[in-house]
């Protein structure tokens, strides 16, 4: 018999798939690390496993304890799956703008979800931030992973994503491209690849135009899961050699092409990362191997990116035009505020 003891044994070891049609005319090899093959459907299963195991070791999370985290997305799913398999309770706190589908996914995995009003100031007692802090204080055995500051977030990528890429490419990877949200993926994977290659692998961050990583102030953008209006400590500013800002329109158009032309139904941050990867790959030669990480599946975005009306309302459907080239400016690391 060949079987796994539990679904959480399947976290990591995701496949690398070559991008063909969208990379036409490019001589470098462009490979995608497809993270929706994780059991919770995203790259965040990796950090959930490692943050929970480290908290068990340190004693911060005790048998029968409760995990409390303000999250509505992929991190919540990863935590919920690992928690149920290990016998912990989960309480997630989300703002009321989060879709009921996302909340129902977390509840389906057995998590409790507390929904807070979006329309109150952060200092209001009912705000998303205050409610999660209060739940941590008032719940016996509560532990808050805090993916934005937890060093186990980048460490999970240093110990899994990075080594997997080095092994899967036989050490031939020359460029690694990833979107930046908490910064865990790029910091951990990028640091490992730099260490193992004596600094040869180039690390490129993809960022929504307007976010702090590419020199913005946090101006709103629609791509989800990436970009910030503050600098999380999970992000190591010394790893990325370059940050490429990408517009929503370019990100979403590429996301749709990935489904249509590569058979990869992935999320908007994946389209964004691929746009950045192709911009980098365009200036490279046949010996170069560019790996771009695709964090999640497109299933969570069917009513947005894959809905023509929604795309049309935002003016994302028409081809060309000045916005389509707006992301062409590359912000060098040196040009960023430190
Ligand atoms: N894309 C999606 C869809 C995400 O949920 C995240 C995590 N916030 C990222 C990209 C960015 O990953 P990281 O937090 O490791 O920077």
**3-state SS of 314-332?**
CCCCCCCCHHHHHHHCCEE
Output the pLDDT for position 271: 98
Tell me which of 74, 187, 207, 273 to substitute to probe ligand 1's pocket, judged by most ligand atoms within 8 Å of the beta carbon: 74
Q: What is the DSSP letter of 124?
A: S
For 30, phi then psi, to 5°, come to: -115, 120
> Checking DSSP bridges between strand 16-18 and strand 29-34, what pairing results, if any?
antiparallel
Q: Is the CB of 207 under 6 A from ligand 1?
A: no
pTM score, whole prediction? 0.92
Q: Which of 182, 277, 293, 304 to mutate to test the pocket of ligand 1 (most atoms within 8 A of CB)?
A: 182
Q: How many angstroms does the Cα of residue 269 sit away from the middle of ligand 1?
A: 8
How far, in Å, is the centroid of ligand 1 from the Cα of 2? Answer: 33
Q: Is 40 in the pocket of ligand 1 (CB under 6 A)?
A: no
In sequence order, what are the residues at sequence separation of 6 or more whose Cβ sits closer than 8 angstroms to the Cβ of residue 102?
72, 73, 94, 300
73 within ligand 1 shell (Cβ under 6 A): yes
Per the annotation, the verdict on 44 as an active-site residue is yes
Q: How far is the CA of 43 from the centre of ligand 1 (A)?
A: 8
Q: Is 74 in the pocket of ligand 1 (CB under 6 A)?
A: yes
Q: For residue 268, give the ligand 1 atom closest to its CA.
A: 3
Tokens, residue 26: 């490019």
Tell me how far the alpha carbon of residue 205 lies from the centroid of ligand 1, in angstroms.
Answer: 12
* End-to-end alpha carbon distance in the chain: 54
154 lines ligand 1 (CB under 6 A): no
- For residues 316 and 249, the answer to whether their CB atoms sit within 8 Å is yes
> What ipTM was predicted for this assembly?
0.98
Which strands sit side by side in the sheet containing 112-116, from one edge to the other?
Answer: 112-116, 89-95, 66-69, 142-143
pLDDT string in tens for the chain (338-residue length): 999 999 999 999 999 999 999 999 999 999 999 999 999 999 999 999 999 999 999 999 999 999 999 887 899 999 999 999 999 999 999 888 788 888 999 999 999 999 998 788 878 999 888 899 999 999 999 999 999 999 999 999 999 999 999 999 999 999 999 999 999 999 999 999 999 999 999 999 999 999 999 998 877 889 998 998 889 999 999 999 999 999 999 999 999 999 999 999 999 999 999 999 999 999 999 999 999 999 999 999 999 999 999 999 999 997 554 444 333 333 333 333 22
């Amino acid at each position: 018999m060949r079987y796994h003891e539990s679904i959480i044994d399947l976290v990591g070891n995701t496949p690398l798939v070559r991008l063909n049609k969208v990379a036409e005319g490019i001589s470098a090899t462009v490979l995608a690390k497809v993270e929706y093959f994780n059991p919770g459907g995203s790259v965040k299963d990796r950090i959930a496993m490692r943050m929970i195991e480290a908290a068990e070791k340190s004693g911060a999370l005790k048998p029968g304890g409760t995990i409390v985290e303000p999250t509505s997305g992929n991190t919540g799913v990863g935590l919920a799956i690992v928690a149920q398999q290990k016998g912990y309770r989960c309480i997630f706190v989300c703002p009321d703008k989060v879709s009921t589908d996302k909340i129902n996914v977390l509840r389906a995995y057995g998590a409790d979800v507390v929904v807070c009003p979006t329309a109150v100031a952060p200092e209001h007692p009912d705000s998303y931030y205050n409610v999660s802090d209060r739940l941590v204080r008032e719940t016996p055995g509560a532990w808050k992973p805090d993916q934005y500051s937890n060093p186990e977030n980048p460490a999970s990528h240093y110990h899994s994503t990075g080594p997997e890429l080095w092994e899967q490419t036989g050490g031939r990877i020359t460029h690694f491209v990833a979107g930046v949200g908490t910064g865990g993926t790029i910091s951990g994977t990028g640091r490992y690849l730099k260490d193992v290659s004596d600094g040869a692998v180039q690390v490129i961050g993809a960022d929504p135009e307007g976010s702090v990583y590419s020199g913005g102030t946090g101006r709103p953008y629609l791509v989800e899961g990436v970009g910030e209006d503050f600098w999380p400590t999970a992000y190591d500013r010394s790893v990325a050699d370059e940050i490429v800002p990408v517009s929503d329109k370019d990100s979403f158009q590429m996301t749709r092409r990935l489904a249509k032309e590569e058979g990869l139904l992935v999320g908007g941050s994946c389209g964004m990362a691929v746009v950045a990867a192709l911009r980098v790959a365009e200036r490279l030669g046949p010996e170069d191997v560019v790996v771009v990480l695709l964090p999640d599946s497109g299933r969570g975005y069917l009513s947005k990116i894959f809905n023509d009306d929604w795309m049309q309302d935002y003016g994302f459907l028409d081809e060309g035009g000045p916005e389509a080239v707006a992301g062409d400016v590359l912000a060098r690391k040196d040009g960023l505020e430190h």
